[in-house]
Amino acid sequence: MGKLFEPFTPLNFQDLFTLMWVGAFVILVGAILVYNAAGRAYRRYPAILALHEWIFWSIFAPWLVVPLLVVIHVPLALLLLLVVPGIAVAIYAAFIKFPPIIEAANVEIRRRRFVPPPRRDIRDRPKPTPAGRRRRHR
């Protein structure tokens, strides 16, 4: 338990120090690439884009601060206090909040695709004249 409150330096955490700041940069670059690719692929599906927004910002914001905190040697507990809630929000969005929303959007997309619009029979309705009354053809 005392290890959590020691300064996060290469002397105290030999294996984890380099892995933490290099991993933060890799996670940031990966999150940006996935976010941009998803934005292009799902631009017509706002429910899926909202999910990607939630996941992107909940991962991007904490991991953006991690390299700075590693360099200034804050305790490991503070790093975990930032990263764990960010990951928890991403998991909440991906598995609890958005699946029902995306399912409802999928149902609506399927309904629009397979149910044709109501049919109008043009022959049954006489067209109005500019004056507003119906004209009978002779």
Mean pLDDT of the chain: 88
Whether this prediction's pTM lies above 0.85 is answered by no
CA-to-CA distance for 21 and 16, rounded, in angstroms?
A: 9
How far apart, in Å, are the Cα atoms of 80 and each of 11, 52, 70, 135? 19, 23, 12, 79
Look at residue 81 and tell me if it is in a domain: yes
Q: Is residue 26 part of a domain?
A: yes
Q: For residue range 51-91, what is the model confidence (pLDDT) as tens digits?
A: 999 999 999 999 999 999 998 999 999 999 999 999 999 99
Residue with the larger pLDDT of the pair 102 and 133:
102
CA 115 to chain centre: 29
Instruction: Specify if 120 maps to a domain.
Output: no
Q: What percent of the chain has a predicted confidence (pLDDT) above 90?
A: 70
> Which DSSP letter does residue 4 get?
G
**Does pLDDT of 49 surpass 70?**
yes
In a domain, residue 16? The reply is yes
| Domain extent for 106 | 10-114
For the CA atoms of the chain, what is the radius of gyration?
A: 28
Total number of domains constituting the chain: 1
At residue 6, the 3 state secondary structure works out as coil
Any domain includes 69: yes
Distance CA 38, CA 49 (A): 7
- At 16, list the tokens: 């984890």
CB 63 within 8 A of CB 85: no
- In a domain, residue 123? The reply is no
Q: Does 55 fall in a domain?
A: yes
Looking at the domain assignment, is residue 124 inside a domain? Answer: no
- Residue showing tokens 């699946």: 99
